[in-house]
Amino acid sequence: MFKVLSAERIAPKEYDLWVEAPRIARHARPGQFVVIRPDERGERIPLTIADFDAERGTIRIIFQAVGKTTTRMASFKKGDAIQDISGPLGRPSEIGKLGTVMMVGGGVGIAALFPIIRALSQAGSKVITVLGGRTSDLVIMKDECGRFSDELIITTDDGSEGVKGLVTDAMKTVAGRGGKIDQCWAIGPTIMMKFCAMTASELGLPIWVSMNPIMLDGTGMCGCCRLTVSGAIKFGCVDGPEFDGSLVNWDEFMSRLRQYKDEEKISMERYQEEVGDLSWL
Amino acid sequence: MAVSRTKTPISEQPPHERIKNFKEVCLGYTLEEGRAEASRCLQCKDAPCVPGCPVAIDIPGFILAIRDGDMPGAVKIMSRYTNLPAVCGRVCPQETQCEGVCRLGRAKNVEPVAIGKLERLVADWNYAQPTALAAEIPPVKAGRVAVIGSGPAGLTVAGDLAKLGYEVTMYEALHAPGGVLIYGIPEFRLPKFIVAKEIEAITGLGVKFEPNVVTGLTVTMQEIMRDFDACFIGVGAGAPNFQGIPGTALSGVYSASEYLTRINLMHAYEFPSYDTPVKRSRSVVVIGGGNVAMDAARSAKRLGADEVAIVYRRSLTEMPARIEEYHHAVEEGITFHWQTNPTEYTDDGSGKLRGVNCIRTELGEPDSSGRRRPVPIPGSEFFIEADTAIEAIGQGANRVLLSAFPELELNKRGYIEADPKTGATSVPGVFAGGDIVTGAATVILAMGAGKDAAAAIDEFVKSKKNK
pLDDT tens across B28-55, in order? 999 999 999 999 999 999 999 999 998 8
Residue B184's closest CA among B120, B242, B265? B265
Q: Which helix (H) or strand (E) holds B7?
A: none
Which residue among B261, B271, B272 sits closest to A222, beta carbon to beta carbon?
A: B261
Pairing between strand B372-376 and B353-366?
antiparallel
pLDDT of residue B385: 97
Q: What's the mean pLDDT in A29-52?
A: 97
Closest residue in chain A to residue B238, using alpha carbons only: A221
pLDDT of residue B131: 75
Beta carbons of A220 and B399 less than 8 Å apart: yes
A151-165, B242-256, B261-275, B392-406: range with lowest mean pLDDT: B392-406
Average pLDDT along chain A:
96
Nearest chain B Cα distance for residue A167, angstroms: 29
pLDDT tens across B350-364, in order? 999 999 999 999 988
Which residues of B fall within a CB distance of 8 Å from A24? 218
Nearest chain A Cα distance for residue B134, angstroms: 28
Whole-number Å distance between alpha carbons of A11 and B466: 62
Beta carbons of A256 and B398 less than 8 Å apart: no
pLDDT tens across A11-24, in order? 999 999 999 999 99
Whole-number Å distance between alpha carbons of B161 and B155: 10
Helix (H, G, I), strand (E, B) or coil at B191: coil
Residue B214's closest CA among B397, B398, B396? B398
Q: Which is higher by pLDDT, B210 or B142?
A: B210
A·B CB contacts under 8 A: 117
Closest residue in chain A to residue B392, using alpha carbons only: A222
Closest residue in chain B to residue A237, using alpha carbons only: B400
B83-97, B174-188, B329-343: range with lowest mean pLDDT: B83-97
Beta carbons of B173 and A267 less than 8 Å apart: no
Whole-number Å distance between alpha carbons of B408 and A118: 34
Q: What's the mean pLDDT in B166-180?
A: 96
Beta carbons of B258 and A41 less than 8 Å apart: no
pLDDT of residue B398: 87
Alpha-helical regions (H) of B2-132:
15-18, 31-38, 49-52, 59-67, 71-79, 85-91, 98-101, 103-106, 115-128
- The domains of chain A, with CATH numbers, are 2-89 (2.40.30.10), 93-210 (3.40.50.80), 213-267 (no CATH)
Which residues of B fall within a CB distance of 8 Å from A220? 238-239, 398-400
Q: How far is CA A229 from the centre of its chain?
A: 19
Q: How confident is the model at residue B423 (pLDDT cuts 50, 70, 90)?
A: very high
A242-256, B37-51, B366-380: range with lowest mean pLDDT: B366-380
Q: Is the pLDDT of residue A275 over 60?
A: yes
Which residues of B fall within a CB distance of 8 Å from A86? 173-175, 212-214, 218
Which residues of B fall within a CB distance of 8 Å from A264? 277
A228 burial class (0-12, 13-18, 19+ CB within 10 angstroms)? middle
What is the residue type of A127?
V
Nearest chain A Cα distance for residue B466, angstroms: 33
DSSP A171-236: HHHHHHT-----EEEEESSHHHHHHHHHHHHHHT--EEEE-----SSSSSSS-TTEEEETTEEEET
pLDDT of residue B369: 77
Which residue among A27, A37, A223 sits closest to B258, beta carbon to beta carbon?
A: A223
Average pLDDT along chain B:
93
Closest residue in chain B to residue A254, using alpha carbons only: B351
pLDDT of residue B135: 67
pLDDT of residue B133: 66
Whole-number Å distance between alpha carbons of B121 and B114: 11
Name every residue whose Cβ is closer than 8 Å to that of residue A169 and which is 6 or more positions away in sequence: A155, A163
Nearest chain A Cα distance for residue B355, angstroms: 16
Whole-number Cα distances in Å, A83 to A20, B211, B215? 12, 11, 19
pLDDT of residue B307: 97
Closest residue in chain A to residue B254, using alpha carbons only: A224
Q: What's the mean pLDDT in A35-63?
A: 97
Cis peptide bond N-terminal to A241, omega within 30: yes
Instruction: Give the CA dihedral B152, B153, B154, B160, nearest 10 degrees.
Output: 100
Mutation test of the interface with chain A: which of B213, B217, B261, B262, choosing the one with the most A Cβ atoms within 10 A?
Answer: B217
State what percent of residues in chain A have pLDDT above 70: 100
Which residue among B248, B251, B265 sits closest to A233, beta carbon to beta carbon?
A: B248
Q: How confident is the model at residue B466 (pLDDT cuts 50, 70, 90)?
A: confident
Beta carbons of B275 and A228 less than 8 Å apart: no
Q: Is the pLDDT of residue B139 over 80?
A: no
Whole-number Å distance between alpha carbons of B88 and B94: 9
ipTM: 0.95
Q: What's the mean pLDDT in B379-408?
A: 93
Beta carbons of B258 and A224 less than 8 Å apart: yes
pLDDT tens across B225-261, in order? 999 999 999 999 889 999 999 999 999 999 999 999 9
Neighbours of B350 (CB within 10 A): 10
Q: Is the pLDDT of residue B137 over 80?
A: no
Whole-number Å distance between alpha carbons of A233 and B240: 12
Closest residue in chain B to residue A42, using alpha carbons only: B275
Q: Is B114 in contact with B8 (CB distance < 8 Å)?
A: yes
pLDDT of residue B1: 52
Nearest chain A Cα distance for residue B137, angstroms: 29
B15 burial class (0-12, 13-18, 19+ CB within 10 angstroms)? middle
Q: How confident is the model at residue B134 (pLDDT cuts 50, 70, 90)?
A: low
Whole-number Å distance between alpha carbons of B32 and B90: 19
A132-136, A147-151, A232-236, B78-82: range with lowest mean pLDDT: B78-82
Whole-number Å distance between alpha carbons of B27 and B13: 7
Whole-number Å distance between alpha carbons of B322 and B185: 13
Beta carbons of A41 and B274 less than 8 Å apart: yes
Alpha-helical regions (H) of A9-108:
22-27, 68-74
Phi, psi angles (nearest 5°) of residue A171 = -60, -45
* B276–chain A Cβ distance below 8 A for any pair: yes
Beta carbons of B248 and A226 less than 8 Å apart: yes
Which residues of B fall within a CB distance of 8 Å from A255? 249-251, 351
Q: What's the mean pLDDT in B183-211?
A: 94
User: Whole-model pTM?
Assistant: 0.94
Q: Is the pLDDT of residue A219 over 60?
A: yes
Q: Is the pLDDT of residue A126 over 60?
A: yes
